[in-house]
Amino acid sequence: MDFQAWWDFVFARRSQLVTDSYLHVSAVVQSIVIATIIAVGIGIMVYRSPIGSAVATGLASTILTVPSFALLGLLIPILGLGVRPTVTALVLYGLLPIIRNTIIGLASVDPAITDAARGVGMNRLRVLGRIEMPLAWPSILAGIRVSTQMLMGILAIAAYAKGPGLGNLIFSGLSRVGSPTAVPQALTGTVLIVVLALVLDGLYVLLGRLTTSRGIR
């Protein structure tokens, strides 16, 4: 591919590329927030029960075995096209790493620490909020990072359901194979997804440093 042709394409479509990039990141971040709330809640409920933990992770794992196109195809008749099936699919796919890491993080807290907290009068909720969750946070954040990287790629496939983001650019390029703009379109969409994924991961690293005490790190 001619580099000049690719650069001309990027320069000519720069406004649209900025918009599509924003929509891509926005959809992923919103989906991750929802998935985190659900997954952490599930993890808190089941981490003390081996059976409950196995069932929760097993069900979340089952979702990941469903191909993206198939899941979107099942959601479209129910939710229609656009943002709703896209976000629903992303949330479902984002659950497993966060559930698993929440369970691992909470289960790995030293029982002696929680016993000492109860010994000074803390109730169950205070122990969870002030002791267990801060200690489990690095593990939970690692799960969030994994889910985010995964969803950045899956969202590209959601263009099949008229979802937002850079997937539309990739699909448009692939559908025009043979035309002068086909390769620049597909390549630009792919490169931007990779770059944005790396930027988000860097922000998570910064977030981890700001929200994790030195003793836990």
Dihedral through CA 11, CA 16, CA 23, CA 82, nearest 10?
-140
pLDDT at 178 over 70: no
Q: What is the value of pTM for the model shown?
A: 0.90
Q: In which band, very low, low, confident or very high, does the pLDDT at 1 lie, cut at 50, 70 and 90?
A: low
Q: Which residue has the tokens 């990027």?
A: 10
Domain ranges of the chain: 3-211
Is the predicted pLDDT of residue 217 greater than 70, yes or no?
no
Q: Is the pLDDT of residue 44 over 90?
A: yes
pLDDT tens-digit readout, 107-153 = 998 888 888 878 777 788 888 888 889 999 999 999 999 999 999 99
Structure tokens at 106: 């909470």
* pLDDT band for position 2 (cuts 50, 70, 90): low
pLDDT band for position 96 (cuts 50, 70, 90): very high
Flag the least confident range among 46-60, 86-100, 179-193.
179-193
pLDDT over threshold 70, residue 80 = yes
Question: What is the rounded average pLDDT for all residues in the chain?
Answer: 88
Name the CATH superfamily housing domain 3-211. MetI-like (1.10.3720.10)
User: Tell me, what's the pLDDT at 198?
Assistant: 95
Q: Is 170's pLDDT higher than 70? A: yes
pLDDT at position 106 is: 93
Higher pLDDT: 184 or 216? It is 184
Residue 123, C-beta contacts closer than 8 angstroms, at least 6 positions apart: none
C-alpha 212/C-alpha 109 separation (Å) is 15
